[in-house]
Structure 1
Amino acid sequence: MKTLRWGIIGTGQIANAFASDFRYVKSGELRAVASRNKASADAFSAKFDIELAFVDYFSLINSHEVDVIYIATPHVHHYDLAKACILAGKAVLCEKPFTLNEAQASELYELAERHEVFVMEAMWTRFNPVIEQVLEWVEEGEIGHLQSIQASFNFVAPTDPNHRLMNLELGGGALLDVGIYPVFLAQLFFGKPDFVQNQAVIGDTDVDVFEQILLGWENGQLASLEASLISCHPNRAILSGTKGYIEIDSEWFCARSCRIVDEANNERAVEFDFPGMGYQFEVDEVNRCLEEGLLQSPNHSWQDSLALMATLDEVRQDMGLYYPGEEQPSHEDLDHHHHEHSHHKH
């Protein structure tokens, strides 16, 4: 199998973390980077010893030197860039959220299927060894019947109104950036929820800065989730079962350790020693899928990604938060919504 040549679009914080962890992947070569700013592209390629630096995204997308493209731009650009990659026949690993909403995601996955191009949402947490361990414990019934999940992703973000997290035009807000992680964890174990409730705080720039989300399933399982851009938190996750519970240590979405505690309070802890932040595991998954000729990862499938986007859409609709270009439901549609919600200005 030839070495897969990777390209990165975007040179921000997440692109830096990804490129930094690339040295730990089992196979693959980091071949190219693109930024709309020449100085950024050149600095990034020098920092990570990347051969090609493009000042235009589409030059990288159409380059014959690249097989797989990692998209690490602000959320609002994911759809257009992923679409261009698919049409150019390039495999795609696109940062989460895959797109702004389920409709966009659905269109791209259909396009990928038609053009037979591999596409995966970069839900890197799914491939973390701790998460794999927790999945195994739950599947083996180590904590009995899994009843509830509590998870949060909170931090204090820059308050600059032009920062991508605070900017409505760039798809800002807590939900799509960090809230997606707790929702992902709940759906990884329980599937798409039957009931969605939330309380949200909308900030001065009209994006959500804090929310608590309660998800429920017909069979009595619950998930209590929190996301914030304005407060600190231990960011641990707890999975409660009928025979014990599992605690994923902070920060649970990139954890190196977890513990299982039984009814008698006996504790078993597991620790994983891996270098970097853990972005290498999603790269290994993409490379594995490509070597096997798959169009999607069985571990974070198109269906998983769409179910995640659908829940985020529902929460956002409940908040009344829409991004530029999105269709807002008419008043008749809103009358059919029996969701409890309230919004406070922060």
Structure 2
Amino acid sequence: MVNNLYLVTPRGFCAGVEMAIKALTWMLKIYDETIYCYHEIVHNDWIVERFKTKNIEFIESSEELPKNAIVMLSAHGTSPKTENEFNSLSSVQVNAVCPLVTKVHHEAKKFSEAGQQIIYVGHKNHDEALGALGVAPDSMFLVEKEDDLEEINISSDNVALLAQTTLAMSEWTPIMESAQKKYPNLNMPRKSDLCYATTNRQEAVINVSSKVDVVLVVGSDTSSNTKALVSTIKNLGKESFRVNTTEEIDNLDLKDKNVAVTAGASAPDHIVQEIINKLQPNETIYFENTNETEYFPLPKELRSNITTISNFLLELFPENKVEPVRSVNKDKQWSATEALASL
């Protein structure tokens, strides 16, 4: 169907998504009752539906939570107020927030406590932005585009700038440069808030773009970093389409074209492989831009719960219950893809 297909690396699951999927899978393994997850664990339709077929309910408010329920907070981060609400109602609470999002929360708290006004660059109503803005609601101002800077009424020169981790570089850079001009003494973190995986995937598609006619980005329409990949390619004047199933490529004119395939940070690789199989390329070329080795361990409270429960079972059934303890200690070798396959 297509001429050359460039399979881009890195693509798909980042370390934060890996951790969150494995954490929720572990919750299913150690608890028999329903687990309530605040927000979608990651923004991917297939993964959410997969967990829904098990004993997981996704909720959007603490009002939906029964008393003494088991709760997981999603990878996107939760405001302190909401986290406290869930904590007061739950018997067990595990926070699967990505450590890179936690970094932004810490920065917001630090800048706010220092009396600074904070400009937060992000997408209105995105789960990550809502969680971050809730850290210091009286000190933070949401900006989605460069023009929004003019609408902000900050008289003080004591201003800081933070960002949603999944932004496109093309979204972040012009706002950052305009903010630096408007506020010459602007405070920013020493290390960028943009997620390394988001940036790596954008740089990879930029580098492959000159070799292809079209770039397909696998991911759900709720995924901010997936949308960022599509916009990055379109800003280069190239065609790009977001696809989430093999059926979605049926109406695309890809015959005899050179096509690159990548995936957002929450897209399962089996969907990528299904799409490649349907495209039937004359040749598949593996385009590796950089190698990612980052690993985020399971949330501390979950590791503790797994070990406690496993050790208790080991005492009761020594011949059958050794593996859970061993497995949690080898979490780095267990991928999210394998975790999903185990459900």
TM-score interval for Structure 1 and Structure 2 normalised by the shorter chain: 0.3 to 0.5
TM-score between the two structures when normalised by the length of structure 1: 0.32
TM-score between the two structures when normalised by the length of structure 2: 0.33
Going by fraction, where is strand more abundant, 1 or 2?
1
Going by fraction, where is helix more abundant, 1 or 2?
2
